[in-house]
Structure 1
Amino acid sequence: MALLAELSGWLGALAVLAGYASFSLGWIANGRIFQACNLLGSAALMLNGLYHDAWPSVSLNIAWATISCVALIRALRAERSVFPGGLRAPAARAESTACEELARGGGAACSSSPHGKAEPIL
């Protein structure tokens, strides 16, 4: 068990450091790879900290993993909203605002798209 805990600590440190260095040097963007390195690294460091009863380290890595998990989910959701050809789907708030402005001007109305979002009828 001690060997597994030590290996976990070293691999976790390597994952976090590799992600940070790659991002800082411009080799990768803030996205899936960077956040996955942070998430996996912090989880491995958390296991090492638990084994050694290093509670400040465990607490830090719980927070680090939580932040990384939220950022990773956001990155994955953003990737799913990209249409073929690299076009991004418009944000729901922008669509809503456009519909509200059109309705106030008396020119157009809005309807629901097949995706359940409001879209202006021109």
Structure 2
Amino acid sequence: MNLLIEIIGWFGMGLILIAYWFISTRRIEVKSRLYQMLNLGGAIGIVINAFYHKAFPPLALNVIWATIAFWALLSVRSEKKRLGS
């Protein structure tokens, strides 16, 4: 179980770094679904790892991070529906 939790945490960290790299190199837009999904998935992975290890500062940060990413993902989705894309 411990190995699985570690893999989930590292995978989450990787997703957030990939999202940051994509934005920093202008490969994707902030309002893209991919960017928000990378952030959401990454934050969830870190939340799982932090919860397991009872590491509350990264847990709190990533719960907030995931909430923002989820809200932004819904916003992107509703904007695309509104524009008919």
TM-score calculated relative to the size of structure 1 = 0.67
Structure 1 vs Structure 2: percent identity of aligned residues? Answer: 35
SS at match of 1:26: coil
CA distance in 1, matches of 2:11, 2:18: 10
Q: Does 1:13 align with 2:13?
A: yes
Task: Give 1:34 shift.
Answer: 0.5
TM-score calculated relative to the size of structure 2 = 0.94
Equivalent in the alignment of 2:37: 36
Task: Give 1:81 shift.
Answer: 1.4
Counterpart of 1:58, as a letter, is: L
Task: Note the alpha carbon deviations across 1:26-62, whole angstroms, 9 max, x for none.
Answer: 0000121101000000000000001111000100000
SS at match of 2:28: coil
Task: Give 1:83 shift.
Answer: 3.2
Question: Hey, which bits of structure 1, 4+ residues long, moved more than 6 A?
Answer: none
Structure 1 vs Structure 2 CA RMSD: 1.0
Higher-strand-fraction structure:
1
Q: What are the ranges of 5 or more consecutive residues in structure 2 without an aligned counterpart? A: none
Q: What are the ranges of 5 or more consecutive residues in structure 1 without an aligned counterpart? A: 85-122
Task: Give 1:24 shift.
Answer: 1.2
Equivalent in the alignment of 2:65: 64
Correspondence 1:1-122 to 2 at 5 A = 1-30=1-30, 31-83=32-84
Structure index of larger Rg = 1
| Larger relative contact order (CA 8 Å, sep ≥ 6) | 2
Number of aligned residue pairs: 84
CA distance in 2, matches of 1:3, 1:78: 40
